[in-house]
Amino acid sequence: MTEHEETMPAPQVRVVTDMAEAAGYVVAALQDALAAGEVATLVLSGGMTPQPLYARLAEAADLGWEHVHVFWGDERLVPPDDPGSNYAAAREALLDRVPLPEANIHRIKGELDEVAAVADYAEQLRRFAQRHDAGCPSPWPRFDVVLLGLGADGHTASLFPGSPAECVVPVMAVTADYAGRPARRVTLTPIVFNHARRVAFLVSGADKAAAVVAALGPARDPERYPAQRIQPEGELVWFVDKAAAPERAED
Ligand code: 6PG
C-alpha cells in the first residue's frame, strides 16, 4: 500500500433505493462550489445508472445552472446525436432541461478520430483550468464533483481491467468491448479524477455486486480493479443500491 493510500480516508458507502437519492449530494456539492467561487464543475458519467440522478438534478431549477460547467469522464467515439453517445444521453436527461448555457458544456467530440478527440478535450481542460482554476498547477481543472459508474467487469469511465494502472496523460483513447456498446472511446485518466474535490461512484444492480466487493475489498490490484485507481485528494462516496451493495454496507 502506498503512503498516499495509507493516509486515504476509507470511502463512504451509502446504500440507496434509487440513484436519484444521490441528487441531494450533487446539488449540495455544486452549491458549496458556487458559494466559494464563480463557477462549479460537474463531470458526468455515461451508461444507464446515472439517468435517474440526471432526471432529479433537472428538477433543481434554482441551482444557479448558469454558473455550472459540465464535462464528461469518458465518451464513445460516435457522433453527438448517436444513441451510444454519453453526451446525447445527458443532453436528453438533464442538459436540455436546465438553463445551462451552451458555452458551459464541454463535451468530448466523439465525431473526431481518437487523436483529434484526445487533443481537443485536453486543450479544453487546459483552457478551462487556465481561465477558472488559476491556482491549479495542472493543465486540467480541479473538478468539484465527478460522477463515475462501474461496469460488471470492474471498469470505470473507460478504464478497463488489464489496462495500465499508471497514466501520465490527462486524456487517452481506449478500445474496449463492453455490453455491445461502442468500443472506441476517450477517457479522463486517474490523474484528473484524483485531483477532484469530490468523486461519487453510482452503482446499481446485482450484476455489479462482485465488482463492488472487489473494488472495495482488501486486495489491492488497481490494474485488475480500475476503480481502485480512483483515490481522490477530496471526498470519495459510493452510492450503491441494495442489489449492488456489499454485505457490510450500512443503509
Ligand atoms: C460508459 C461509462 C461506463 C459506465 C459503466 C456502467 O461510457 O459506458 O462511462 O463507465 O459508467 O459501463 O454502465 P451502466 O450504468 O449502464 O451499467
- pLDDT tens for 53-105 read 999 999 999 999 999 999 999 999 999 999 999 999 999 999 999 999 999 99
Helix locations, the chain, DSSP H: 3-7, 23-36, 51-57, 86-93, 114-132, 190-193, 209-216
Q: 251 is written with which cell numbers?
A: 443503509
Instruction: Take atom 10 of ligand 1 and give the residue whose Cα is closest.
Output: 157
* pLDDT bracket for residue 9 (50, 70, 90): low
pTM above 0.85, yes or no: yes
Instruction: Take atom 8 of ligand 1 and give the residue whose Cα is closest.
Output: 47
Ligand 1 nearest-atom number relative to CA 155: 10
**pLDDT at residue 133, as a whole number:** 87
156 lines ligand 1 (CB under 6 A): yes
**pLDDT at residue 3, as a whole number:** 61
**pLDDT at residue 53, as a whole number:** 98
187 lines ligand 1 (CB under 6 A): no
* Residue 9, CA distances (Å) to 6, 12, 122, 144, 243 in order: 8, 9, 30, 18, 25
DSSP 3-state of 66: helix
Q: What separation in Å is there between the alpha carbon of 151 and the centre of ligand 1?
A: 6
Q: What integer is the mean pLDDT of 34-41?
A: 97
